Chain A
Amino acid sequence: GNSVTQMEGPVTLSEEAFLTINCTYTATGYPSLFWYVQYPGEGLQLLLKATKADDKGSNKGFEATYRKETTSFHLEKGSVQVSDSAVYFCALSDKAQGGSEKLVFGKGTKLTVNP
Chain B
Amino acid sequence: QKEVEQNSGPLSVPEGAIASLNCTYSDRGSQSFFWYRQYSGKSPELIMFIYSNGDKEDGRFTAQLNKASQYVSLLIRDSQPSDSATYLCAVSPFNQAGTALIFGKGTTLSVSS
**Chain A bound to chain B:** no
* A residues lining the B interface (CB < 8 Å): none
